[in-house]
Amino acid sequence: MALTTEFKFTNTTQSLTKSLNLFDCKEASYTGRRSTATETLVANNTTGLEGDELVKYRSNRIAQVNTDLKLSKAAVNVTGVSYGVEVHATLVSTDSADPKYRQEMPIVCSLTFRHPLDSKITEAHIKTIMARAVSYMIKEDNTTRISALMGGPITNFSN
């Protein structure tokens, strides 16, 4: 028997027009703040004394992988793992005409993966889902769905 583990979606062509610049976040630029059995919190050293960026890595076992999918042949093992990264950044607003004016606005982004503990799920599968999740935020014309989502859920999905 030859076991194959693959996704069933067929829209897998990589876009040549969608662009997203990734950042080179070197480990040397971060200092550990807190570490427990399930999470590690690090601070970005390049933001100065104010600590305007924190990064939290998490990983823990979960009793069951909850999903909105209707699976007809679900895996027997429902025990899973949940892991990901959460970025907490501070957007700072200042006014050159008023040196006393300063407003700090937190922005938090979370990327979480949940799946059964199964050796058939590989890093390549997770990288595919990560790329697809980010791809769904960018339309075919390279604009994003961010403004629409800031106003509420998308009710008319169009590229």
Which pLDDT tens digit goes with each residue over 65-107?
Answer: 988 888 888 887 789 999 999 999 988 888 999 989 988 889 9
Which is more confident, 109 or 155? 109
Residue 85 burial (CB count, 10 A) = 13
Whether residue 129 lies inside any domain: the answer is: no
Whether residue 95 lies inside any domain: the answer is: yes
Whether residue 31 lies inside any domain: the answer is: yes
Q: Using only C-alpha atoms, what is the Rg of the chain?
A: 20
Whether residue 148 lies inside any domain: the answer is: no
Taking 60 as the threshold, does the pLDDT of residue 159 lie above it? Answer: no
Whether residue 80 lies inside any domain: the answer is: yes
φ/ψ of residue 151, rounded to 5 = -95, -5
pLDDT computed for residue 55 by the predictor: 92
On average, the pLDDT of the chain sits at: 85
- Cβ burial, residue 28 (10 Å; 0-12/13-18/19+): exposed
Question: Which residue range forms the structural domain that includes residue 84?
Answer: 27-66+74-118
Four-point Cα dihedral 134, 41, 105, 108, nearest 10: 20
pLDDT computed for residue 22 by the predictor: 77
pTM more than 0.85: no
Whether residue 113 lies inside any domain: the answer is: yes
Whether residue 79 lies inside any domain: the answer is: yes
The domain tally of the chain equals 1
